[in-house]
């Protein structure tokens, strides 16, 4: 897969999603400001992805770009789009599945060839009855045995992250040897909550986080460590 080409296609998808469902997009920003778990999960994804880049890429790539869903990660083989829900309740799970289905529908409409490369993920702090909820859920107006619904569920997985903020602190301490990782994470979280609550300003917040990461990177090469 040509990653640059794919990311251009993803940007087309994001713009269309925002254009056709602006109310839902605004709701996504409000959710970021209101749910600590969602924000910490997204930030963990972005920083972990940044750490995997080459040194040259880390010098030029912003860490917290605008998103289709809670988080998007593109690799050489696939695109993973994640929705994060704290409790994994039936209601929250259904909302996450509907959101991801809207993305899937946009992919099939705009860039059908990309469909096979997109994977979906629901991240929760703990799992409770997820399998039953997924089996019973169907998009409005469709049946459970609809081929598109079946293929969508085949590319869907559920994962747990009990405390994404703690994992981010550990990542900064071990990979970037940050002297005060907890203070850094708390500052980032506050900056992003403020930006999300205003409905704008995320690019500036992203640049601040990127500059912090770049300063940490300049202080010493990335080092593998043992998780605390």
For the ranges 40-44, 55-59, 119-123, the maximum mean pLDDT occurs at 119-123
Q: Looking up tokens 């997204």, which residue turns up?
A: 42
Higher-pLDDT residue of 147 and 54 is: 147
Tokens in use for 26? 């605004």
Higher-pLDDT residue of 31 and 35 is: 35
- pLDDT tens-digit map of 165-221: 999 999 999 998 898 999 999 999 888 878 766 666 677 888 888 899 999 988 865
Contact between residue 48 and residue 185 where contact means Cβ atoms under 8 Å apart: no
Tokens in use for 69? 């869903």
pLDDT at 168: 95
71's CB contacts (< 8 A; 6+ apart) are 41, 42, 45, 46, 81, 82, 84
Question: What is the gyration radius of the CA atoms in the chain, in angstroms?
Answer: 18
Cβ-based neighbour number of residue 79 at 10 Å:
22
pLDDT at 57: 81
38's CB contacts (< 8 A; 6+ apart) are 31, 32, 70, 84, 85, 86
Nearest to 12 by CA among 113, 96, 148: 113
Contact between residue 177 and residue 226 where contact means Cβ atoms under 8 Å apart: no
Instruction: Specify the pTM.
Output: 0.68
């Amino acid at each position: 897969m040509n990653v640059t080409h794919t990311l251009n296609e993803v940007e087309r998808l994001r713009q269309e999603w925002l254009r056709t469902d602006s109310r839902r997009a605004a709701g996504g920003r409000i959710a970021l400001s209101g749910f600590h778990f969602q924000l910490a999960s997204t930030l963990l994804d972005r920083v972990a992805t940044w750490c995997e880049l080459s040194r040259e890429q880390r010098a030029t790539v912003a860490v917290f770009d605008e998103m289709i869903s809670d988080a998007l990660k593109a690799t050489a083989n696939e695109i993973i789009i994640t929705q994060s829900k704290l409790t994994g309740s039936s209601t929250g799970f259904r909302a996450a599945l509907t959101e991801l289905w809207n993305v899937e529908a946009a992919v099939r409409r705009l860039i059908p060839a990309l469909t096979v490369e997109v994977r979906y993920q629901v991240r929760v702090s703990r799992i409770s009855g997820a399998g039953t909820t997924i089996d019973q859920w169907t998009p409005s107006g469709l049946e459970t045995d609809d081929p598109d619904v079946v293929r969508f569920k085949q590319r869907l997985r559920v994962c747990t992250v009990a405390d994404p903020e703690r994992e981010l602190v550990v990542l900064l301490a071990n990979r970037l040897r940050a002297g005060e990782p907890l203070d850094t994470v708390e500052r980032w979280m506050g900056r992003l909550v403020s930006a999300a609550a205003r409905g704008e300003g995320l690019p500036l917040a992203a640049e601040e986080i990127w500059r912090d990461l770049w300063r940490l990177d300049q202080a010493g090469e990335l080092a593998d460590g043992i998780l605390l």
